[in-house]
Amino acid sequence: MRKHIVVLAIVALLFSMVQIPVLAGKSQTNTGHTGSPFDKKITERFESERSMEHISYLSEDIGPRVAGTNQEKEAASYIEQELQRYGYEVSKQVFDIANRLQGQLNTSTEESEFAIRIATGSSSTTEEGTFGYVYHSGKGEPSGFPDEIDGNIALIERGDFSFWEKVNNATEAGASGVIIYDNTDSLVPPTPSLGGNSASIPVVAITKEDGESLLEKMESEEVTATIKISEITNQTSQNIIAVKEPKGKPANDHDIVYVTAHYDSVPYAPGANDNASGTSVVLELARIMKGYATDKEVRFVFVGAEEIGLVGSRYYVSQLSNDELDRSLANFNLDMVGTNWEEATALFVNVVDGAPNLVWQSTSDAAQRLGNDSIVLFERGASDHVAFYEAGIDAANFIRREPVTASLEPWYHTPFDTIDKISQDRIQEAGELIGSAIYDVVRKETPKGKRNQGVRMNEGDYLLNEAVYVE
């Protein structure tokens, strides 16, 4: 009988050691796993209702939060006030950002301005703008410009010629401005590149739908337009930082974990998912973790100017001392974690070099403990984790994607990135999973053998798609 008991114990032990890889392509599944007692400090306190309130304020009350604008600064002030309300001492880093062009297009047929993209290499205009009648000019071939184009605005379809050839032909024909409309359906206009050339006239682009609408109006009436483009100079953005000090550790003698999210958006986009969603989850994690004893320092860093080239995160990392870099353990970066797009069933853990690191390992451990099978390890930069990776810090970006093609939701970077496109359930899932992973890394040390009770994965047991997708 004792032999049978021993055999059964050995079988049970071997079964418990089987390593199960985290699978992609499914939403969170209820497997009956509730996590460890320390996971419950996150899962039982994370309130997605609070996150939804943050998303509402950032995307609805403020709206688009373009780097350097008053709206971005208003968002920074909101984040700062929330962190102070949680009991944090908050610091702000202010940094310069590059000059940029801003503009608008108004026509006699529309009461509101069109959504536009300004061509790289476009000229600016006077404060009054460039005014003229709009004439259809084909695809910008030399023969496509009517005689009346001199001193007026050319409406040109995309295709057949480069953007610069179109603009150069329009300039030689005497046009005072160019509007290029897309030749494929899209929610946002294209951004014409003039190939390093500089135009002497203003050049903007609109969607196919808006271009065809103008053409339809031009069949029955004369249409005028005003293009205004101005250069914005001497702008700044800012990072907002709250630090949770470890308890019972000597000052300046502890590891540092960074939890980051950007709060700016692209023009015209309310940025509910990109990235009020990530910002909202990090704010809620900061609230939850404020009173917990941790073995490591946790820095909650909300960065500006991500959308114009990861400027805020790169500035933040550039200001870290050598001592801080030596003590830097990991960066958990949240960017677009709340979309309700049905196809985005996977939570990607993007690592710049595609290799599993501490962020991935702690997340996969948490996923095992919580019974979450939605995560995918993926090779990609394109978010604020890049700056930390380049400094030698284990870093990863969390983002919702379609698991096979790695596609983002159709309304990415469009005016339709609104709060009605947010899934509160996915916000809750992100908060519980990522929060549990973070807390496992930073929590007060426990006796040997008590920690990391979830099944760990071998290096070979991870999913890695090495293709690079262009957003």
Domains belonging to the chain, first-starting first, are 19-99+234-465 (3.40.630.10), 100-230 (3.50.30.30)
Helix (H) or strand (E) holding 79: helix 70-85
**What's residue 248's pLDDT?**
72
pLDDT bucket at 2, cuts 50 / 70 / 90? very low
* Residue 114 phi, psi (nearest 5): -80, 150
Distance CA 382, CA 468 (A): 11
Neighbours of 231 (CB within 10 A): 10
Chain mean pLDDT for the chain = 89
**Which residue, among 265, 365, 268, 248, has the nearest Cα to 308 in the 3D structure?**
265
Mean pLDDT across 133-148 = 98
Distance CA 303, CA 386 (A): 13
**Which residue, among 229, 374, 292, has the nearest Cα to 39 in the 3D structure?**
292
**What's residue 453's pLDDT?**
36
Distance CA 121, CA 200 (A): 9
Residues whose CB falls within 8 Å of the CB of residue 129, separated by 6 or more in sequence, listed in order: 226, 227, 228, 229
**Which residue, among 311, 314, 123, has the nearest Cα to 235 in the 3D structure?**
311
Amino acid at 282: V
Distance CA 356, CA 202 (A): 48
Sign of CA dihedral 302, 303, 304, 307: negative
Q: Token digits for 155?
A: 């409406």
**Which residue, among 261, 255, 458, has the nearest Cα to 365 in the 3D structure?**
458
Q: Is residue 404 predicted with pLDDT exceeding 90? A: yes
Model pLDDT for residues 25-47, shown as the tens digit of each residue? 333 434 346 799 999 999 999 99
Greater pLDDT, 446 or 165:
165
Q: Are 291 and 281 in contact (CB under 8 A)?
A: no
Percent of the chain with pLDDT over 90: 84
Q: Are 299 and 256 in contact (CB under 8 A)?
A: yes
Q: Is residue 108 predicted with pLDDT exceeding 70? A: yes
Q: Is residue 62 predicted with pLDDT exceeding 50? A: yes
**What's residue 467's pLDDT?**
32
pLDDT bucket at 112, cuts 50 / 70 / 90? confident
Distance CA 224, CA 209 (A): 18
Residues whose CB falls within 8 Å of the CB of residue 439, separated by 6 or more in sequence, listed in order: 38, 39, 41, 42, 289, 292, 294
**What's residue 60's pLDDT?**
98
Distance CA 393, CA 387 (A): 9
Distance CA 213, CA 202 (A): 21
Q: Is residue 65 predicted with pLDDT exceeding 80? A: yes
Model pLDDT for residues 308-348, shown as the tens digit of each residue? 999 999 999 999 999 999 999 999 999 999 999 999 999 99
Distance CA 180, CA 158 (A): 6
DSSP calls for 135-204: EE-TTS-GGG--GGGTTSEEEEESBSB-HHHHHHHHHHTT-SEEEEE-SS--SS----B-TT---SS-EE
Alpha-carbon Rg for the chain in angstroms? 26
Outline where 355-458 has alpha helix (H): 358-370, 385-390, 424-442
